[in-house]
Every structure is written in structure tokens, then in C-alpha cells.
Amino acid sequence: MSEKIKFTIDDKECFAEKGQNVLDAATDNGIFIPALCHIRGVKPAGACRLCNVKIAGRLMTACTTPVESGMEIENDIPEIQDLRLAIIEMLFVEGNHFCPACEKSGNCELQALAYRYQMMVPRFPYEFPVKEIDASCPKLIIDHNRCILCKRCIRSFKDENGKNIFAFKKRGHKLQINIDEKLSANLSDEMAQKAMDICPVGAIIHKGKGFDEPIGTRKYDKVPIGSDIESVV
Amino acid sequence: MRNIVNKIIKKYKNDKTRLMDILIDTQSEIGFIPDEAVEEIAQILNLSKVDVVQTLTFYHFFSQKPIGEYAVYLNNSVVANMMGRVEVAKAFEEEVGCGFDNVSEDGKIGLYNTACIGMSDQEPAAIINGTVFTKLTPNKVKDIVADMRAGKNVKEMFDNYGDSENNSELIKSMVTNNIMKRGEVLFSDYEHGSALKKVITMTPEEVIEEIKDSYLRGRGGAGFPTGLKWDFCRQSEGEIRYVMCNADEGEPGTFKERVILTEFPKLLFEGMAIAGYALDAKEGVLYLRSEYTYLKNYLENIIQELRETNQLGENIAGKEGFNFDIRIQFGAGAYVCGEESALIESAEGKRGEPRNRPPFPVQKGYMQQPTVVNNVETLCNVVKIMLNGADWYTMMGTRESSGTKLISVSGDCKYPGVYEVEWGLRIRDMLEMVGAEDIQAVQVGGPSGSCIGKRSFKRTICYEDFPTGGSMMVIGNKRNLLNDVVKNFMEFFIEESCGSCVPCRALTVILKNKLEKILYGNGVTNDLAELEKWCNMMKESNRCGLGQTAANPILTSLKNFREKYEELINKDIEFDSGFDLSAAVAESCEAVDRIPNL
């Protein structure tokens, strides 16, 4: 048994393994901290900034911060919750997210977070950017309109030789994900489904499988995102 | 083409961490980086094609399509605009016969905009095939374009060489140094190598103590205590340690490192060697911005000379086991690479995305080994501190800011150039010294710093008051502050964000749009409140310094020049969507030949 350390989140006493990041530790203690880029077990990206928490008066991303003994973490406070809602809204206005027409509706983490944070109309004006849909890969559709650039696909997807199938292209507001034409040509159905599942939104769609599971019976159709974590303890 | 690429990759020993160099050489040999080259590079380095494209498309000076036999990169910074860039750009377009971001029909000349190229004291300026052209005028543009059409080598297009080393055989540039004030630290006389001779009689710990005692703080802008950084690095476990020098000065309005690198590069390399001694590092990397490629041969020659005189290499200065060498790593056009962890990523051949902390570079930096990244000016200061002692150094400056600071002054003033001043100088005194009159505002510390007005001129330049990495732009009364300055800075940050953090990628665009809404006369009172609130979201929510300060142009001008915003606000109405219906349908109306009926 490795050493357990004690810390608090919003005054609630929590325990963690040494070396754990704050986000995973919070999850293990039944506390939900929202994140769109994090995948447990994969090196954190610190990209979406949703998991920002306050430690010693400073905002820190929970996914990239190792938990320390005696740490006092503020999570559910108005300042942070408003920043999170603002980030969700930013994602909605910088892309084109039309939930009713999306294959991922109900399984989409962005949509689920918008519900959980009770987003009505984003405070920021919509940008309606012109973005492309790339259907050149035999098994996948990449819809750049919906991509939130969380890097999940980039970080967790390699081919059998350990080569990257996804990568970024360009930078700043022109940033987009890029799929390797050659390496993705031989993607198995299983891999294609995995890619669709790892994507928090509907930017990666497994061709022909988008509606295998009917809308209305999907993951977040009945319970809010995070409730599985909160019901554990 | 295959042969060319193969040869280049071989030169870098098939090392994928040298991808930047491979791409730089490919671009320079072929003129652009064609798809076949990307595939070849990916295959030999055992990377995916998308990996190579990821690095390639991150940097502004790499291109996947031909950029013209002559590629003109005209600076579009605020100061360039002040000095007449608009007319110069127009002249280029007329003479070449195409707009910017295009290549002339014959494929001969390409026109491109580029962020500050470190020539704010001699704008408008452009880089053409690596050679810098300064103080451009529409007439000069005519001659340059004629020369390009005639197929002249860029080096043969002028003979008005700059002062001092700019005129030396290995530089031969028209750039001038414009040293306006020589201070007590950087410009004091010294015999090259003397500090190193002294240092090798001390233990590395004693060297670090001396730097700590001097209270030297990082001159790049962040102001982290240098001695402490060295100490952390030395205490970190690793197989090998690295010294990196950050010469990616990209903060618009800054050019002091250009002057240091031209005027006393040996001082810098001696500083790097001292850091190498103190940290027990064997390798040093000078990360130099692509815009200063015109100094390449000159700097490489000096490094070679230092090797030959035993000031670099093995058993330096006769000290057994003191081995240290330096290589130059060029960037390829990315402001964010001035952030130390992005710089490291770039030097490893990747896109310049800042890393998450922890671990810090002093723990896991270049090649995952303990690394110190210091600014050019910081390392130059180190030499003089070791030579004259910490006590001598702390006599200068203020309590929290010891020593001197090199300031790059540009904009509406009589004497633009570099000034070495003691920390603690009042801004008012500085402005008097540079011959600035009729001042509307001063931008201290570049776009990421503060836009200040007269009320603040009594304040001082130092870490405890107005810290600066070295940029000071004077903005005269004749300028439109919000439109010409603030908006330009916001566009700069949008262009230069790496795009990883959501607020930095998305909110910068939202903020600029909001600013434009106000500038176009559609602003209402609530817009100012929202602007302020949204700007404040940037401060702590982003990973790196770029994102944290990217709202500063609006935030500081809103604080210090609120009346300029209020003048534009429509106070009679509560809401204005800012949406112009007739403009939105203009294009489609034209396409179907109808007149909008709104």
C-alpha cells in the first residue's frame, strides 16, 4: 500500500495516493471537477482549462497539479463556476455546435456540461466560423465544426508501431486536428469506434455507426454528467 | 529533391529532435517545403506525416507552397505603421502587382506580413530572403522591386551599411545599432575572458552564491531571481544539464538583444560558459529568432574563434574537466517560443507549445534534463557581476531591482534606440531623455505590458513598479490609440497564440471583436463592463505568460484611457447587436445582382 495523503476540497476532507493529480484524486473522493481534455491514465494536457481550481489563492488546473498533503482546494465557488461556464460558452461560440443534428447528442460531454452548468444563451456572440468536414478517411468523419481541440485523440491514439495518427495543424484560432491519411487508411472498426468514443464531442464520427444507439437512451440523456462520480461515496 | 532532403537529414544525424533545423534547411534549399519532402522527412525520422506537418505549420516562416524567388516579409507592428508602413505596403503591392499573402504571377516575388522583426528603431522594415531592409520608403520600394525583377542578389541591392559590426564582412547589413546611452554594466570596459578566468578559481557553489547575492533577476520580463534558478537546476537530478539562452526577442518594440548580439556577442557567450561552469552543464543552446538569421555567419564564426582560443570546448581556460560548447538553434517565426518551455519544445523539434508545470524546466527541461533558460541580457549581466562582485552590482538600481536595464525605445520620439539605464528611473525622465514630446501614451513592456498615460509618468521602471522586458513605445497625440495601437496588439496575440488553452485561443478573438464593435460605433455602456470582466478572465485561466497577458492591451488602456472608450459609446441605447444586415447580405446581393431591400 502506498502512502495516503490528506487534503481538502471545499473543506471536505479527502484522501489520495501520493503523486496523484488533483483531478483524479477529487474523482476518487466523489467530487466532480469538470474537464474536457482529461483522460485518466494519459499524461494531462491542461488544455481545456475547465478543471481550474483555486489553490492558495491561485487558479491551477487540477489535471496538471499533483496533490500535496494539507492542500486546501477551492472548487465549487462562484468565481470558478462562472469561469467554467464562460469556457463552455467560448467553445460553443468558436465552433458550430448544432446539437439536434449531431450524431453525438446525448453522449457529448460538451453538451452535457452545458446542461449541468445551465447554459442558456452564451454571453459571447456566435462567430459562425466556416469550417470543413473531412470524410476522406474510410472509417471516420472528422467534423472540424465540432472539434474543441482537446487533444484527446492526439494523446491517446497511436498505430501498432507507436506512430501518431492524429496531430495538430497550425496554431491559435486557426488550430485544427489533422488525421494521417496513410495511417488512418487501415483503421479497424474497433479502432474507429474507440476514436469516436474518446472524442468528448462529435468531431470524430465512426462512419455508419453514428446512430447505433438511439437518442434518448444515451449516457447523459437521463442523468447529468458527473453524477456517476458524485454517487460513488 | 529527394537527394537534397536526404543530405539535410544526414547532416543532423537522422535526429528527430533536430526537426526544426531540417525544416529550416529544406525551406532554404528548396524555397518551400513540398509534400514529397514532408513524406521523406517523416519516413526517415520514423515519424507520422502529421507530426512533421504539426511542427511545420506552427511556424510562420515555413511554407508548404512556393513563396516566391524573393519573399518579402514586411513588418506590420504598431511602430512600423507609425513610421509609414501603409504607404510602403501599397508601393510593394503596386510595383509587384499582387496583394499581400500572394505571389506575383511569374512566381518571382511574394508579399507577406510579419510580426515585429526587432527593427522598431528603424521602421518601416522588411526581411527579404533573410536580409533586412530598414527605413523603407515608397521610392526605395520601387528600386528594390526593380532589382528583384532584374534578378539581383539581395546582398547587392544596397551599399549603405550600418555602424560598427553591422559593417563587418560577415554581416554587411544596413541595420544600425542606435546605442543612445551606454550604462555602467553592459557597456563598461572589460577584457573578454577575464570573468571566466576568475570563475574557474571558484567552486560552482560560490559562483551561484555570488549571483544570488547580486539579486540579479531575469531580464526577459518575468524577473525570476537568476541565482535561485541556477540553484534549483543544480539541485535537480539528471544525467546532464543544459544552459539555454533565450534570444527569441519577439515582444513588439524590443530590439536590445539584436544590439547585444551584434555589439558584444563574446560577452554573452562568456556568460553562457559561466552558467555552464556553475551548473556543470556541457552543452549550451542559443535559441535565436529567425528574424536575426542575418547574424548567423557572424555568430558562428565567433563561437568557432572561442573554441580555437580555448574559451569554449574542452578544458576551458586550462581548467581540467571544464567542458562546454554552444550551438545555435534558430526559430522559424513564433512569438510564443520566447516562453521558456515553448522554446525548449521548439528546440526539440516540436510545435512551440508551452508545457504544463510542474515539472519546471530546471527539473525537466531540454531533453527532459535539468535546464536553465536565461535571457541574453541576463547572461551578459552575469559576466560583469562575476568580474566586479555582487556588492558593486547591488549599488545600482532599487531595492528589488539591482543593476541596470537595457531599454529599446521606439515610436514618436526624437532618439529611438537602446538605452542602458539604472532600474528606478522615472518614466518622465526617460521620456525626456529620448526626446519625446506631445505624448499621448507610453507602452511599457510591449503589448503584454501596460499602456500608460501622463498620470503614470511619475512612476518608475523597476520590478516593484513598472517591470519591463525592455520595450518602450512612445505613442504621440496624433495617433488613434484604440484603433492603431490596441487593436493591432490584439491581432498580434490572436496570431501568435499557440491555441492550446481555450481562453487564449477563443477569448482573444471575442475580445477583439468586442473592441471592433465599439470602434465601429456600435458600442453601448454594458460593452465596457463586459470587456473588463472578460479581460480579467484571461489573467489566471491560461497556462503561459502569453495567454495571461494577452488581454493587457485592452485592460490597461481601459484603465488608463477610459474616456477614449466612452467617447465611442452610444449612451442612448441599452443594446446594439453590432450586426450590420446590409453588409452581411452585400456579397450575396451582388452575386444575384439585386439591391438589398431592408
Residues 6+ apart with CB under 8 A from B502: A47, A48, A49, A50, A87, A90, A91, A148, A149
pLDDT given at position A185? 94
Q: Nearest CA to B247 among B281, B226, B278, B220?
A: B220
Per-residue pLDDT reduced to its tens digit, B111-170: 999 999 999 999 999 999 999 999 999 999 999 999 999 999 999 999 999 999 999 999
Residue B580 vs residue B407, higher pLDDT: B407
Domain with CATH 3.30.70.20 in chain A: 84-208
Per-residue pLDDT reduced to its tens digit, B427-447: 999 999 999 999 999 999 999
User: Rounded CA gap, A101 and B510, in Å?
Assistant: 26
CATH for A4-76, among 3.10.20.740, 3.30.2270.10, 3.30.465.10, 1.10.8.80? 3.10.20.740
Q: Count of CB contacts below 8 A, A vs B?
A: 132
Q: Give the distance from CA B81 to its chain's centroid.
A: 18
Identify the CATH homologous superfamily for domain B70-160: Glutaredoxin (3.40.30.10)
Q: Taking the domains of chain B in order of start, what are their residue ranges?
A: 2-58, 70-160, 181-394, 405-477, 482-566
pLDDT given at position B578? 86
Confidence of residue B594 (pLDDT cuts 50, 70, 90): confident
User: Rounded CA gap, B126 and B255, in Å?
Assistant: 15
Bridge-based pairing of strands B102-103 and B109-114 is antiparallel
B54, B350, B522: best to mutate for the A interface, most A CBs within 10 A: B54
Compute, in degrees rounded to 10, the torsion defined by CA atoms B491, B411, B559, B250.
50
Helices B2-11/B19-30 angle, 10° precision: 140
Q: What is the mean pLDDT of residues B461-477?
A: 93
Domain with CATH 3.10.20.740 in chain A: 4-76
Report phi then psi at A157, rounded to 5: -115, 115
CATH number of the B482-566 domain: 1.20.1440.230
Bridge-based pairing of strands A12-17 and B70-75 is unpaired
Per-residue pLDDT reduced to its tens digit, B507-523: 999 999 999 999 999 99
Per-residue pLDDT reduced to its tens digit, B171-215: 999 999 999 999 999 999 999 999 999 999 999 999 999 999 999
- Which among A50, A87, A173 is the nearest to B494, CB-wise? A173
pLDDT given at position B596? 77
Q: Considering the domain A84-208, what is its CATH architecture?
A: 2-Layer Sandwich (3.30)
Residue B300 C-alpha cell reads as 558562428
The Cα of A219 is separated from the nearest Cα of chain B by a number of Å equal to 25
Per-residue pLDDT reduced to its tens digit, B34-72: 999 999 999 999 999 999 999 999 999 999 999 999 999
Residue B185 C-alpha cell reads as 554594466
Residue B532 C-alpha cell reads as 473588463
Task: Write out chain A's pLDDT in tens, 233 residues.
Answer: 567 999 999 999 999 999 999 999 999 999 999 999 999 999 999 999 999 999 999 999 999 999 999 999 999 999 999 999 999 999 999 999 999 999 999 999 999 999 999 999 999 999 999 999 999 999 999 999 999 999 999 999 999 899 999 999 999 999 999 999 999 998 999 999 999 999 999 999 999 999 999 999 999 999 999 999 998 65
Reply yes or no on whether the pLDDT at B598 is more than 80: no
Fill in the amino acid letter for B356: N
Phi-psi region of B332 (alpha: psi -120 to 50; beta: other; left: phi over 0): alpha
Residue B528 C-alpha cell reads as 465596457
- Which among A61, A91, A175 is the nearest to B499, CB-wise? A175
Q: Give the distance from CA B440 to its chain's centroid.
A: 25
B546 touches chain A (CB under 8 A): no
Q: Nearest CA to A196 among A95, A108, A96?
A: A108
Mean per-residue pLDDT of chain B: 96
CATH number of the B405-477 domain: 3.10.20.600
Q: What is the mean pLDDT of residues B529-557?
A: 96
A21, A23, A48, A49: best to mutate for the B interface, most B CBs within 10 A: A49
Cα distances from B203 to residues B71, B241, B279, in angstroms, run 51, 17, 11
User: What is the number of alpha carbons within 13 Å of residue A42 lying toward its C-beta?
Assistant: 15
Q: What is the mean pLDDT of residues B358-378?
A: 98
Confidence of residue B568 (pLDDT cuts 50, 70, 90): very high
User: Rounded CA gap, A165 and A154, in Å?
Assistant: 7
Identify the CATH homologous superfamily for domain B181-394: NADH-ubiquinone oxidoreductase 51kDa subunit (3.40.50.11540)
User: Rounded CA gap, B435 and B24, in Å?
Assistant: 41
Q: What is the mean pLDDT of residues B269-298?
A: 98
A89, A90, A147, A171: best to mutate for the B interface, most B CBs within 10 A: A171
Euclidean distance between the first and final Cα of chain A, in Å? 21
Residues of chain A found within 8 Å of residue B513, distances taken between Cβ atoms = 125, 127
Per-residue pLDDT reduced to its tens digit, B299-341: 999 999 999 999 999 999 999 999 999 999 999 999 999 999 9
Nearest-Cα residue of chain A relative to residue B504: A172
Contacts of residues B430-437 at CB distance under 8 Å and 24 or more positions apart, as own/partner, are: B430/B461, B430/B472, B431/B457, B431/B474, B433/B180, B433/B181, B434/B180, B434/B409, B434/B472, B434/B474, B436/B411, B436/B412, B436/B474, B436/B476
Q: What does the angle CA B200 – CA B204 – CA B206 come to, to the nearest 5 degrees?
A: 95
Q: Nearest CA to A10 among A59, A67, A63, A53?
A: A53
Are the beta carbons of A168 and B541 separated by less than 8 Å?
A: no
B181 touches chain A (CB under 8 A): no
